[in-house]
Structure 1
Amino acid sequence: MTKSLAANISVEELRELDKKHYLHPITPLKQQQAEGPELIFKSAKGLRITDVQGNEFIDGVSALWNVNVGYGRQELAEVAREQMMNLSYASSFFNQSHENVIRLAEKLAKIAPGKLDVSFFTSGGSESNETAFKIVRHYWKLKGKAEKSKIIALENGYHGVAMGTTSATGVPVFKDMITEVAPGFLHAIPYLTECEKGDKSHPDYERSLRGIIEREGSETIAAVIMEPVQGVGGVNIPPEGYLQAVRDLCDEQNILMITDEIITGFGRTGKMFGVDNWNVVPDLMCVAKGITSGYVQLGAVMLSSEMRDEMTELSDGPMFHGFTYSGHPTACAVALKNIEILETEGLVENSRKLGEKLFQGLKYLEENHQITADARALGLLGAISLFKDRDNREGFDFDLHAATAVVELCRERNLILRPLAFGMEAVAIAPPLIATEQDIDTIIEILSDAIKEFEQKVL
């Protein structure tokens, strides 16, 4: 038996223990119970991950879109250790604070767009979006407009797996686990730019943001939430002018605009934040993932000091919302160092520059294969779609699981990518921002080989 890890336990024993004791997220239960985990990771450095059997893989999706500065950064480990030895934990409840959370809030205020200069800290993306929903409803309630409570999200948008964020998510499969959604969540068709500007001639006008606001009444709508680039829902990049049209609509209708930057923040799209690509400033901005590059759990909701001051003036008591790990000292220390690395190593600009190369590579795949179409990338966030008949946009039969099959063929070639299935059949590519031109070439070459083999099987 192959032995693994310091405990001298075999790979087979690890698989059996995993099957017996570990309930996996976003994993088919039958598959895990029948086969055990497909990969058991042991170590990682840069863009490469090694499993317990010694196989080395290129991580082409930054794990869960979050390992922006790559694996094995000694400086992040050092600041974490130093902070744990100095102040392992501190609470921000009851008007208490500590230096790291103050310094991180100040740093975020400096790099965030517009007047977003106040942060509320969480443990991750779902908590950040959930917090944003509570803040906007609390805000309107304080202003004597408690009826402004509805949240409009976009179809194919993904915002998390808490009760409210699941309800806001517009990817239907994420609702399969629940029996009912939270009240007050609506969904609009994305990217109907002319509708949002006021053109009612489009056949889907009633399902646009403006159409829904018109139907429901702006006096009942608290906020609109959207990802600058939809991630899980397909890596969908909005058309030019769309974000500005939504911003203008929200201003016109006295509705708050929330942007979910969980994936797009901290350099992923070639700008520090996704909205920076369109010079749009939301009222609230939710971040997580890349804020620490996944080294420690952390998220935040950012808003303006003007909005904070309004709530302060209208509020008499505490804001009864918070998490045990809000503003965790070690997480804040790692975030500060992580942002320093992004800035000093020019990784945001590297993402922009290599994003152009990634897009060229995806266009190459589109032009040289029979089943590929809709190449897209913004920074190091890209995808390509798979079609049985791409000219007519006819998809593969659902049972074929085309994107998953292609990703599995990539894994056989030691490249980890992400299938975007759920009926859309696309492959996502989002390597760490430390990637090189050679890394992009290698990823495209392996993906091309995998697509070619899949084509030979199905065409």
Structure 2
Amino acid sequence: MSDTAFWHPFAAMGAVRTAEFVVTRGEDVWLWDDSERRYLDATASLWCVNVGHGRREIVEAVAAQMRELATYQTFGDFTNRPALELTRRLAALAPVPGAKIFLASGGGDAIDTAAKMAREYFVRTGEPQRTVLVSRENGYHGTHGFGTSLGGMPANRLAAPFVPDVVRVAYDDPEALEAELLRVGPERVAAFFVEPVIGAGGVLPPPPGYVERVREICTRHGVLLVIDSVICGFGRLGDWFGVDRFGIVPDLVVFAKGVTSGYLPLGGVVAHERVAAPFWEPGAAAFRHGATYAGHPTACAAALANLDLLEGDGLLKRAESLELTLHAALRSLADHPLVSEVRGGTGVLGALELDADRVAADPGLPAAVTRGARERGVLIRPMISSVGFSPPLTLADEHLDLLTDAVRGALDAVA
């Protein structure tokens, strides 16, 4: 293969430049490469193709919208019908009262929006000193300015210096959050960012009671709780925004990925009516923030068709059973000498943690296991010390044997 001109994200281009893996088409849980070889997509691209590949309903909705109005901005008082309908539906589904929806181009944009919104909320409510943002070790919140600063994966913390007034706490200890609030001074803290299940940081489900406890702590200290459901929303955890199972009411919810099943870029922030109030009251100044493609009519049309599929195909209900069968399938690999831990069971997400000594000796081990699985017809995701799984919600139980056979074969080959 000739040298490419495409600079891939998260890629060591010295190796990739003449060895690209070209995906040409997709159907349901399957992908094909440019040699017409078929693969089981056990990652749903990047955690997002929840309804499966090639859904004609989304394609047709997008084509129809593009024939009518492909694109137009929504700054000031401009809007369009798909943006109005999508925000109305999302507000009705949201786990907060009186929800208002701020649309963005994707998850990274939405994280920046939530961070700026949280700080500005306190400016408008008379507490401008509340600028500190708190996140968790191992967390991932994208690679934009605020997201890089909030991220808890050291390998991703490039291009310092970062956004100021950001601190991190242990990902699994709510008391560490309270201790840090008291150290910093809770009167200085604006928001705490939480993934219901940490995704790219290793697929780390929360300890029992964790989400509920941090909600209590944030409430007591007047700190906004921001739920980052970019990965966990739209069925991945069996509900719309990845928080219903925890029984809490967030202040802000960040979403993207599954809202369109990745068919077009779209993200946003759900704001509790209390947080939206100082921005929406008569005479309030504009929130001077937004993306060119916020409320993009074609992207919104894709999202509306995707919501129809999630509802009509019963995929949220399907996720409830699939999270159990996927976790059971991955547990069948726990006896492999290269596997030190199996994580999952909270949503249609899972990971195999690889032997720490082997990873320390060869940091490329997760990538090697991933390549081995690909050679055996299954696409999985390499992470820092583990390999991850997040298949489309349309995955059938009979596909799990192919998945586990391919991964076991890859582990054997590497071991």
TM range (shorter): over 0.9
TM-score scaled to structure 1, two decimals?
A: 0.88
For 1:430, the aligned partner's letter is S
* Residues 394-420 of structure 1: CA deviation (Å, up to 9, x unaligned): 453343522111111101111110011
Contact 2:96 2:251 in 1 (8 A): no
Task: Between 304-313 and 353-362, report the one with greater CA deviation.
Answer: 304-313
What is the CA–CA distance in structure 1 between the aligned matches of 2:221 and 2:283, rounded to whole Å? 25
Question: What is the aligned counterpart of 1:223 among 173, 177, 191?
Answer: 191
Question: What is the aligned counterpart of 2:12 among 4, 12, 28?
Answer: 28
Q: Which has the higher contact order (CA 8 A, sep 6+)?
A: 2
Contact 1:159 1:168 in 2 (8 A): yes
2:166 matched residue in structure 1? 185
1:13-412 superposed matches below 5 A: 15-16=2-3, 19=4, 21-33=5-17, 35-37=18-20, 39-115=21-97, 117-176=99-158, 178-193=159-174, 195=175, 208-313=176-281, 316-366=284-334, 368-377=335-344, 378-387=346-355, 394=357, 396-412=359-375
What is the CA–CA distance in structure 1 between the aligned matches of 2:367 and 2:153, rounded to whole Å? 17
What is the CA–CA distance in structure 1 between the aligned matches of 2:313 and 2:138, rounded to whole Å? 34
**Aligned-residue offset at 1:306:** 3.0
What is the CA–CA distance in structure 1 between the aligned matches of 2:273 and 2:251, rounded to whole Å? 11
Contact 2:323 2:349 in 1 (8 A): yes
For 2:19, the aligned partner's letter is G
What is the CA–CA distance in structure 2 between the aligned matches of 1:358 and 1:417, rounded to whole Å? 13
**Aligned-residue offset at 1:230:** 0.3
* Residues 129-186 of structure 1: CA deviation (Å, up to 9, x unaligned): 000001011110011211101100000000011111100011011113x031110111
TM-score scaled to structure 2, two decimals?
A: 0.97
Contact 1:270 1:353 in 2 (8 A): no
What is the CA–CA distance in structure 1 between the aligned matches of 2:282 and 2:166, rounded to whole Å? 26
* Residues 58-88 of structure 1: CA deviation (Å, up to 9, x unaligned): 1110011111111111110100000001111
Contact 1:156 1:171 in 2 (8 A): yes
* Residues 96-132 of structure 1: CA deviation (Å, up to 9, x unaligned): 2111111111111121213262100000000000000
Larger Rg: 1
For 1:302, the aligned partner's letter is V
What is the CA–CA distance in structure 2 between the aligned matches of 1:119 and 1:254, rounded to whole Å? 22
**Aligned-residue offset at 1:257:** 0.4
What is the CA–CA distance in structure 2 between the aligned matches of 1:75 and 1:95, rounded to whole Å? 30
Contact 1:143 1:314 in 2 (8 A): no
What is the CA–CA distance in structure 2 between the aligned matches of 1:402 and 1:326, rounded to whole Å? 40
1:433 matched residue in structure 2? 393
What is the CA–CA distance in structure 2 between the aligned matches of 1:395 and 1:411, rounded to whole Å? 21
Task: Between 310-319 and 126-135, report the one with greater CA deviation.
Answer: 310-319
What is the CA–CA distance in structure 1 between the aligned matches of 2:411 and 2:351, rounded to whole Å? 13
Contact 1:153 1:168 in 2 (8 A): yes
Root-mean-square deviation over aligned CA pairs: 1.4
What is the CA–CA distance in structure 1 between the aligned matches of 2:185 and 2:363, rounded to whole Å? 44
* Residues 21-58 of structure 1: CA deviation (Å, up to 9, x unaligned): 2111100021123x331x11111111111111111111
* Residues 292-312 of structure 1: CA deviation (Å, up to 9, x unaligned): 001111001001223222333
**Aligned-residue offset at 1:328:** 0.5
For 2:248, the aligned partner's letter is V
What is the CA–CA distance in structure 2 between the aligned matches of 1:156 and 1:260, rounded to whole Å? 13
**Aligned-residue offset at 1:259:** 0.6
Q: What SS class does the counterpart of residue 71 from structure 2 fall into?
A: coil
1:446 has 2:413 as partner: no
What is the CA–CA distance in structure 1 between the aligned matches of 2:207 and 2:76, rounded to whole Å? 45
What is the CA–CA distance in structure 2 between the aligned matches of 1:270 and 1:119, rounded to whole Å? 21
Q: What SS class does the counterpart of residue 274 from structure 1 fall into?
A: coil
Contact 1:267 1:348 in 2 (8 A): yes
What is the CA–CA distance in structure 2 between the aligned matches of 1:233 and 1:29, rounded to whole Å? 22
What is the CA–CA distance in structure 2 between the aligned matches of 1:398 and 1:278, rounded to whole Å? 39
Cα gap change, 1:383/1:249 in structure 2, threshold over 3 Å: closer, same or farther? same
For 1:324, the aligned partner's letter is T
Q: What SS class does the counterpart of residue 57 from structure 1 fall into?
A: strand
What is the CA–CA distance in structure 1 between the aligned matches of 2:325 and 2:225, rounded to whole Å? 32
What is the CA–CA distance in structure 1 between the aligned matches of 2:284 and 2:14, rounded to whole Å? 52
Q: What SS class does the counterpart of residue 193 from structure 2 fall into?
A: strand
What is the CA–CA distance in structure 2 between the aligned matches of 1:115 and 1:47, rounded to whole Å? 36
Cα gap change, 1:400/1:324 in structure 2, threshold over 3 Å: closer, same or farther? closer
Cα gap change, 1:329/1:144 in structure 2, threshold over 3 Å: closer, same or farther? same
What is the CA–CA distance in structure 1 between the aligned matches of 2:75 and 2:316, rounded to whole Å? 34
What is the CA–CA distance in structure 2 between the aligned matches of 1:43 and 1:247, rounded to whole Å? 43
Q: What SS class does the counterpart of residue 94 from structure 1 fall into?
A: coil
What is the CA–CA distance in structure 2 between the aligned matches of 1:229 and 1:372, rounded to whole Å? 21
Task: Between 88-97 and 336-345, report the one with greater CA deviation.
Answer: 88-97
Q: Where does the alignment leave 5 or more consecutive residues of structure 2 unmatched?
A: none
For 2:28, the aligned partner's letter is G
